[in-house]
Structure 1
Amino acid sequence: MSDTNQSSMAVLIDYENLALGTGKRRRNGHQDPGPRPDVKRILERLVDKGRITAKRAYCDWQRFEDAITPLHELGIELIEIPDRAYTGKNSADIRLAVDAMEMCLTKDHIDTFAILSGDSDFSPLVAKLKEFGKTVIGVGTKEATSTLLAENCDEFIFYEDIVKTGGIPDYAAKVPKEKHECYQLLFETIDALQGESDSAVLASRLKDTMRRKRPQFSERSFGYRSFSNLLREASKLGFITIHQDPKSGTVMVDGFCE
């Protein structure tokens, strides 16, 4: 599957909600920020679903200064939101919603919106985007996600499910160290794509998705003449099962070996 057949996605991040969701709730009901959310892992999960063409994060960045550089490095546009003590309202929610509708109405190529928040206040926005024919994916923490919002989205992914480890083969003992990066990317992508569908994954789609995760990826950098050779090696080592489509001759990945 080529990129031309993939969704074009805008990712809009309510950073405060995401950060507070990783923290712990105090006895007075307030939430303290937890470890800095792994936004890179979230984006890597979202590119399994399409090409990301816009990335914006909304917050009073004076409260989360340690996040500024990592988010800039991910190419995310940071939108400064005044402290609600001055505005009397959550301006981040309002600005995010306004930007989403502006994109919806003026950027026809964007057909999917990923809203990184668990705030129920975004439920009307989700409904309106769907009314305009857009697909809406939500991402939020289990602690801070409203059931109303999650049920209104076309799909909702919990942050904890994105960052949890395990589920892919342990390749360290069988694969040379210089190829570990390649195998990690390969297996993470297979795992994510098969989480979307139980059907076999086309090799070309698998490679396209890996290159959206890591634009610099090339199997030749790891000593393989072709991507199919990489898949065949992984199969011979007992990590994955593959077959060749009888009509097209294309290699298909069935999944991980039991």
Structure 2
Amino acid sequence: MSEPTRNVALLIDADNAQPSAIDPVLTVLAELGTVNVRRAYGNWSKPGLGGWREKLVSFGIEPQQQFDLTKGKNATDMKMTIDAMDLMFRGRIDAFGIMSSDSDFMPLAMRLRQEGLPVYGFGTSRAPEAFRNACSRFIDVAALLAEPQVEQPTPPPAAAAPAAPAELEPEPHPLGDALPPPIKAKLAPGKDPELLKLLFDAYDSVKKDAKGYANLSAMGQLAGNRSSFDARNYGFKRLSDLIEAVDQFRVERRENGLWVKRVR
């Protein structure tokens, strides 16, 4: 008899979330379980939330209306927090996704984690570090939206034709002007000092075999203590794909998993 899948709740701060990211966000949360609770919070009379209306229908998201009762104050955050606590105390939710870049949700994420519930945060690279670290994982939605970097074979010199300069210009990103500064998915993993330090520290901290190889799963658990770390933030779906792209490690596949050794 198969085990029941975990029940996941996704709560969306529509004022501080990109509607174009909802599809990849749901894909990530599907790894935790089934996203049965899907709610988006906002004042739907605002023209600025128009981009969310189509997504609500397409992805079966329940809109939660919250009027701006006082000018300059946003009551949406409070409503979203109350609903999260209600869901937690009912005991039927096994994991939470919070789609926002607002630091006001830091106490909520911390409280949910204190109950042993994983919390996945989804926002931009401008999200405050306090909120990032309060989540079990925080994933940059721009990295989810970025297309995979596929290496194209180099054509023979005779077949190569000069391309017009205009054709070399990248198309506008779907986030337009809202796109945050360049994300880590655009950097070569072996050239990112912060990433390398994280991987080196994890490698140094885990047990190694006689040949100096460490189990990648054990490294991943240590690296996962930093909520800002996720392979998707660097343009890779899995940690195994990321580590294979780092020249400083040698990878060895075994029956009991992937093992890595630092070579420089």
TM bucket normalised to smaller: 0.5 to 0.7
Aligned 8 A contact 2:7 2:36 in 1:
yes
Q: Please state how far the C-alpha of 1:196 moved relative to its aligned partner.
A: 4.3
Tell me the equivalent position of 1:80: 65
Percent identical across equivalent pairs?
Answer: 28
Quick one: distance in 2 between partners of 1:10 and 1:100? 9
Indicate how the Cα distance of structure 1 residues 142 and 84 shifts in structure 2: closer, same or farther if over 3 A, else same.
farther
User: 2: CA distance between counterparts of 1:114 and 1:141?
Assistant: 15
2:128 counterpart of 1:146: yes
Higher relative contact order (CA 8 A, sep 6+): 1
Q: What is residue 98 of structure 1 aligned with on the other side?
A: 82
* Matched AA of 2:85: M
Match of 1:40 in 2: 23
Q: In the alignment, is the contact (CA less than 8 A) between 1:3 and 1:51 conserved in 2? A: no
Q: Distance in 2 between matches of 1:46 and 1:168?
A: 25
Q: TM-score, normalised by structure 2?
A: 0.54
Number of equivalenced pairs: 162
Matched, 1:65 2:84: no
Indicate the structure with greater helix content: 1
Q: For residues 153-186 of structure 1, what are the alpha-carbon distances to aligned partners after superposition, in whole Å with 9 as ceiling and x for unaligned? A: 110000111111014688xxxxxxxxxxxxxxxx
Q: Which runs of 4+ in 1 moved over 6 A?
A: none
Q: 1:103 to 1:169 in 2, by over 3 A?
A: farther
Q: Specify every segment of 5 or more residues in structure 2 that has no aligned partner in the other structure, as ranges.
A: 153-230, 242-252, 258-264
1:102-251 paired onto structure 2 within 5 Å: 102-106=86-90, 108-143=91-126, 145-167=127-149, 195-198=237-240
Inter-CA distance 3–196: structure 2 relative to 1 (3 Å threshold) = farther
TM superposition shift of 1:3: 6.4
Is contact 1:119–1:149 with CA below 8 Å preserved after alignment?
yes
Amino acid of the structure 2 residue aligned with 1:157 = I
Amino acid at match of 2:17: L
Q: Which runs of 5+ in 1 are unaligned?
A: 20-35, 171-190, 200-242, 247-251, 253-258
Partners in 2 of 1:95 and 1:74 — Cα distance?
21
| 1:197 Cα deviation from its structure 2 partner | 4.5
State how far apart, in whole Å, the 1-side matches of 2:88 and 2:107 are: 14
2:9: which partner in 1? 10
* Structure having the higher Rg: 2
